[in-house]
Amino acid sequence: MHTVLLVLATFAASAVEMVEALTIVLAVGVTRGWRDVATGVSAAVVCLVAVVAALGPALTHLPINTLRLVIGGLLLVFGLQWLRKAILRAGGLKALHDEDAIYQRELAELRAAGGGRGPLDWYGFTVAFKGVFLEGLEVAFIVVTFGAAQGHLGVAALGAAAALVVVLAVGFAVHRPLSRVPENTLKFGVGVMLTSFGMFWTAEGAGVTWPGSDAFIVVLIAFVLTISFGFVTALRREMPLLVSGQAA
């Protein structure tokens, strides 16, 4: 019975962390392209395997809060940049698809010049790498701490592996429907997600305990969505004033 409970507990705790990583990977993959995001995920998995193999049970001594602070802070800055641009586009103050047009033009020029596969999209690579590496480390912590506490490391790893299979299946199922969502809407969504996760990890790394623990991410996403729509509405309301001000 203890074994079943251990598997279930590790499964649930790992699944929460994996869904967080999956959200980031899907959001960035759909908007920036899958090639470099896949490279970022692969690099993160290789680094994770190396860290886990090198440290083993000593993994729990890594300064996880410092990692959360640094990675969360970077995600928050990235996320706010995305969100700011998406709000400006939705509010009518910035042309739609401008960055994509520039990126596609540069890509075409590089390919025409014999660049082969084109340049690595560092943005997609880095965000995917950070998301998967941090969440992967947290899964490894869960397995080591749950497994060590019960004296069944292998059983705890089984729970995490089952969670990985389920979360990967969900990811494959939803990535196609997601790719049909309009690009600007997706970029808005990515900004909201990166900002929300960035806030969550940063504050945790700084020593804060969120009310309701990991479940508070949902509240943060709702909060960021609400203020973003509020800003878009305010910008759209000002647009007619701007036009009529010029006409006067």
Toward other proteins, which CB reaches closer, 11 or 201?
Answer: 201
Q: How far is the CB of 130 from other proteins (least distance, A)?
A: 12
Q: How far is the CB of 10 from other proteins (least distance, A)?
A: 27
Amino acid sitting at position 176: R
Q: How far is the CB of 101 from other proteins (least distance, A)?
A: 17
For other proteins, the binding residues (CB under 8 A) are 69, 73-74, 76-78, 80-81, 83-85, 87-88, 91, 93-94, 122-123, 126, 195, 199, 202-203, 206-211, 220, 223-224, 227-228, 231, 235, 238, 242, 246
Query: 202: closest CA among 54, 77, 60, 61?
Result: 77
Amino acid sitting at position 16: V
Q: How far is the CB of 117 from other proteins (least distance, A)?
A: 19
Toward other proteins, which CB reaches closer, 88 or 164?
Answer: 88
Q: Please, which residues have CB within 8 angstroms of residue 122's CB and are 6 or more apart in sequence?
A: 36
Q: How far is the CB of 71 from other proteins (least distance, A)?
A: 12
Toward other proteins, which CB reaches closer, 146 or 216?
Answer: 216
Toward other proteins, which CB reaches closer, 56 or 63?
Answer: 63
Q: Are the CB atoms for 17 and 135 separated by under 8 Å? A: yes
Q: Please give the backbone phi and psi of residue 142, each rounded to the nearest 5 degrees, phi first.
A: -60, -45
Query: 20: closest CA among 130, 180, 179, 126?
Result: 130
CA-CA distances (angstroms) from residue 139 to 33, 59, 202? 26, 11, 18
